[in-house]
Amino acid sequence: MPANLGVMLNNRLQNCTCAAFYHALQVWSFNTGERSAAKMLTPSDAEVEKLYQLACGYDPNQPGEGPGGRAQHVLKYLFNHGAPIGQHERRNRIVAYIEVDPRHLDDVKRAINDCGVVYIGFHVPGNLGPEVRHLPDVWDVDSANRKIVGGHAVVSPGYDEDTLDVISWGRFYRMTWDFFSRYVEEIYAIADKAWVESTRKTPGGLTLGELEEQMSALRDDR
């Protein structure tokens, strides 16, 4: 994938919960298409801002960054209504979102394999805070700077024995498993229809129909 995936307005609006989803969409579309940047679905800034308004209540007429956004609230909106992408008011809706216990690392790894990405919310320690101009390529536990300075949402599209790949601020970083265990608060498997149809994989090994049935209780239009 391209090294620069775009910050999705996160540098101006602090809308990481929405930006993280669009990075997931890039991963899915790149890997289920022709593995071509030209075929990868990347939103315009206007579409990113629109999702921030719809899912989080951001008002572009008010000064400041906006309200941020809770991961579960954003994912429920994406499940029921989808995210703006492309022409003709097209919406991309996730098929399902399922919380994964971050203490069970095998489940986290299985969710990445099944879904292509996992959606992660974590506490940001001081060594990765907003005043840090150049983030390290590898995020590890810094015993000298553990003060929590905020929260952040990212997606992880892969892992190895020592680290997870994460996409943040439009580029790839790596997060050690020690960092993950200390700072990650919530994690979700999120399922995309194109990914399911291309790979035939879904969370828990369910069929697409079974997955949709399991999620039906969360539909606003049920």
Chain segment 71-128, per-residue pLDDT in tens:
999 999 999 999 999 875 678 999 999 999 999 999 999 999 999 999 999 999 988 9
CATH number (domain holding residue 114): 2.30.30
Which of 88-92, 107-111, 133-137, 140-144 is least confident?
88-92
Q: Are residues 52 and 159 in the same domain?
A: no
Q: Does residue 3 fall inside a structural domain?
A: no
Q: Does residue 4 fall inside a structural domain?
A: no
- DSSP secondary structure letters along 34-71: TS-TTTS----HHHHHHHHHHHH---TTSSSS-----H
Q: Does residue 184 fall inside a structural domain?
A: yes
Q: Give yes or no for residue 220 having a pLDDT over 90.
A: no
Chain segment 44-81, per-residue pLDDT in tens:
999 999 999 999 999 998 877 678 789 999 999 999 99
Give the span between the Cα atoms of 101 and 168, in whole angstroms. Answer: 22
Structural domains counted in the chain: 2
Chain segment 161-216, per-residue pLDDT in tens:
999 999 999 999 999 999 999 999 999 999 999 999 999 898 888 888 888 898 98
Q: Does residue 176 fall inside a structural domain?
A: yes
